[in-house]
Amino acid sequence: MEKNCVRLASPTIQTDSIVDGEGIRSVIWFQGCSHNCLGCHNPETHDFYQGFLVSINELKEQINELEYQEGVTFSGGDPFMQPEALLVLARYVHEKGMNVWCYTGFLYEDLIKMAKEKPIYFEVLKEIDILVDGKFVQELKSFDAVFRGSSNQRIIDVQKSLAREKVILVEKYI
Ligand code: SF4
């Protein structure tokens, strides 16, 4: 990945979403995912060479212009496959007073293991409020599972989980 850039599925931030986390949110759609979940809704976001290469500074400018948004959600694709960019952007969203949700095909436990080899994953987790984790599983597809595609995916309070060293789910979504 070119330095100071991120590969996105869309070059502009989507605003006013009510389905990608709590409240009215903006969504940054990352490009690139190797999880290959059967029945994935966004197969066009898998290829690491497609999409748009966008400078981090340009995205920060877009974040500066957001109005009446409770937070920003990172989705894709898998944002954790570009951890450097994810870290900078999540930190910036927090600096702007908004909360951070992130979707990933990894399990929280995988990310903790990965962080032992590459501490940047830990740094990223420190900047995420809510993580929706796990692969999409077609047999477990559920329209009742709010903010999730399939019922195996978990809505995790990341800061509580880091503090207690175990997965803490957001109670109202259990
Ligand atoms: S992790 Fe998400 S984007 Fe990647 S294949 Fe699975 S459902 Fe699709």
Note down the domain range covering 91.
Answer: 5-173
Question: What's the CATH number where 163 sits?
Answer: 3.20.20.70
Residues 119, 129: Cα–Cα separation, whole Å: 18
Q: Which residues line ligand 1 (CB under 6 A)?
A: 33, 35-37, 40, 42, 45, 76-78, 105, 135-136
Number of domains in the chain: 1
- The confidence score (pLDDT) of residue 144 equals 87
> Closest ligand 1 atom, CA of 33?
4
Q: How far is CA 18 from the centre of its chain?
A: 15
User: What pLDDT does residue 2 have?
Assistant: 61
Interval between CA 40 and ligand 1 midpoint (Å): 6
> Which ranges in 48-173 belong to alpha helices (H)?
56-64, 83-95, 108-117, 120-125, 158-164
Q: Which residues pair with 26 in a beta bridge?
A: 72
| CA 145–ligand 1 middle distance (angstroms) | 17
Joined together, the tokens standing for residue 139 give: 């047999």
Q: Please report, in tens digits, the pLDDT of each residue of the chain (174 residues total).
A: 567 999 999 999 999 999 999 999 999 999 999 999 999 999 999 999 999 999 999 999 999 999 999 999 999 999 999 999 999 999 999 999 999 999 999 999 999 999 999 999 999 999 999 999 999 999 999 888 899 999 999 999 999 999 999 999 999 998
Look at ligand 1, atom 3, and give the residue with the nearest C-alpha: 77
The pTM (predicted TM-score) of the whole model is 0.97
